[in-house]
Structure 1
Amino acid sequence: MSPESLRLISSSSSTMTAVFPPKPPISPPLRSKQQFHQISRRDAAVLSIITVVVPLLHQPSPAAAAFSIGISGPKDWLKEQKKKAYKVLLAPIDASRNTLRTVYLLLTNSDSDFVDKEMEQVQTLLKSAARDCVPEDRNSFVAFQASTGVEVCTFRLVVKNASSLLDDKDPIKLEAEANLTDLIRSFSSLNGMANEVDIQLPSNRKRVADALMNTISSLDKLEQGVKDCLEI
């Protein structure tokens, strides 16, 4: 082949290269939609695990938190929690005291004889204030619970909760339990009197009102005993 022909071929090749640039390198095959979704689900699962587990790893336990703030142990930590919730614990005592005060006003502010509706209202309120702690006033369902060992007396549950961290022979716990016994006895006497005497008579209403004030005093003593257990 002549030199002139070679020059023509070379020039033609350069022109073709400029017009048709070289193909780019072959890229790896694209993932299918199924593979993509599988990877997405896997990554989402991993992220969800990290989101849940990592905060737990950094969250101190209650006992650790108690030690970190200088409390000697979990028992003292629980004691602090009870102190913070003391208003909830004392709420039934306060509610019963308010109910008894309402009954006292009904008994002392009436100049005329009670009608049957008023007598029934007084008896219902007194039963409610006792919080299922008078066995004679319990209904059949509550009596069944009591016979099976389920505690239903609200005031007893309050004392058990407040004194649960104290030793059985702790004087403060024993005092609170004694106050509880006196309160139950007082409610039994009050409710029995209200059911037996004719409170339509002013003199009998005065007797019930006096017994009611004694029950309020017993409630106050129980409340103080609970506060002593909680060291409030």
Structure 2
Amino acid sequence: GRTQRYHYDLTGKLTQSEDEGLVILWYYDESDRITHRTVNGDPAEQWQYDEHGWLTTLSHTSEGHRVSVHYGYDDKGRLTGERQTVENPETGELLWHHETGHAYNEQGLANRVTPDSLPPVEWLTYGSGYLAGMKLGGTPLLEFTRDRLHRETVRSFGSMAGSNAAYKLTSTYTPAGQLQSQHLNSLVYDRDYGWNDNGDLVRISGPRQTREYGYSATGRLESVRTLAPDLDIRIPYA
């Protein structure tokens, strides 16, 4: 058999774990933030924080190299940058690095990620943060059309989206707000959804398969029936 043991301090923090000769010790600062851990006495991961208590560096040693991730924040505590580095731990020589920048809109929602030497990825939003589209550099990747309730009605993507989009997924809804149908300009993906008076999904039908759901008197899923009899599923309850 296999035995694993865990040890905790008086405040409930994990301080030691043992697993078949592998002993891991966990260390914390005065604010109960984890600072480092050792594996069989050898240094493993290290965590560093700034005066706000925000994590600034997470590092470990891999194949003789010091691998670190450094985090930068704005005055609101939002992540603005992430820098990954690989160094020679003896000389401090920088062997590799990669940076990613993060930006936010006026509402504080993340709206741009910029990796090293690559075009930025941007999320286009409106109102209180509803997603309207996504771009890679100046190239539209994905666009959404929404109704007055901000529900997705058309999703355009492929071939630089917009009016030239290769694909358009159209969605409709029931008067109760349930998804009623989805149509892609490729008949393979057409879907129609059926609901009972209790608001339970009872049917999903498409060009290749129809699946029906049965429920008990208490509303629990009881069965799933498909066009192929050998794919039927019955769910018994004790």
Q: Which TM-score band applies after superposition, normalised by the shorter structure? A: under 0.3
Larger Rg over CA atoms: 1
Higher relative contact order (CA 8 A, sep 6+): 1
